[in-house]
């Protein structure tokens, strides 16, 4: 039995959900999100809650049960609050600037790195060393943050690079004389 899957997803008062065909749709104040439904999982909307259960006793159904309950919870959270990832840039001369639907990064290369911001996401740069990515879809927010971080991962000697806020970078000692 999945401990996560057993707990129903509560729908706030301003959120509505519908399961039509093979698509689960959740509407809220921040927009609409959809998710394809699996045949091995049954979704029920009752008493202002979404209940996720395995449709049969197969190993696949039990395996996907808890994950799909979490995906449904992410839909509800996305249309009510949204998701945000914050990246911090460390290094001399490393900086970021949001320009409309593009993000320009200067990361020590001979050229600037320009990253197009996907539809539905918003990128802000409160200062030159901080990038805030926000949106309704948790997967898209995390994917864009990972693509930005991939340009300069933090290195262990000086800690230079792009890291998530709150991430611990294991530091190494370096050469001795």
Question: 79-92: per-residue pLDDT in tens?
Answer: 999 999 999 999 99
The pLDDT tens digits of the residues spanning 118-142 come to 999 999 999 999 999 999 999 999 9
Q: Is the pLDDT of residue 1 over 70?
A: no
Where do you find CATH 3.90.930.12 in the chain?
3-80, 83-164
Segments in the chain forming alpha helices (H) = 3-6, 59-80, 138-149
Mean per-residue pLDDT over the chain, rounded: 93
CATH code for the domain defined by 83-164: 3.90.930.12
> pLDDT at position 124, please?
95
Q: Which CATH architecture has domain 3-80?
A: Alpha-Beta Complex (3.90)
Binned at pLDDT 50, 70 and 90, residue 2 comes out as confident
Dihedral (CA of 132, 135, 138, 144) sign: negative
Beta strand residue intervals within 81-129, DSSP E? 83-90, 95-99, 102-106, 113-116, 121-124
């Amino acid at each position: 039995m999945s401990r996560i899957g057993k707990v129903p997803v509560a729908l706030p008062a301003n959120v509505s959900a519908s399961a039509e065909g093979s698509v689960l749709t959740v509407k809220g104040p921040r927009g609409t999100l959809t998710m394809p439904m699996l045949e091995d999982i049954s979704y029920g909307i009752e008493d202002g809650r979404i209940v996720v259960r395995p449709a049969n006793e197969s190993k696949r159904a039990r395996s996907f049960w808890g994950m799909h309950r979490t995906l449904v919870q992410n839909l509800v959270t996305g249309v009510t609050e949204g998701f945000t990832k914050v990246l911090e840039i460390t290094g001399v001369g490393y900086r970021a600037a949001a320009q409309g639907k593009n993000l320009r990064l200067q990361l020590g290369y001979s050229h600037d790195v320009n990253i197009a911001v996907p539809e539905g996401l918003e990128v802000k740069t409160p200062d030159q060393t901080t990038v805030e990515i926000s949106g309704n879809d948790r997967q898209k927010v995390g994917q864009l943050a990972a693509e930005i971080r991939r340009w300069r991962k933090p290195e262990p000697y000086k800690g230079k690079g792009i890291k998530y806020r709150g991430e611990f970078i294991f530091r190494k000692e370096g050469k001795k004389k």
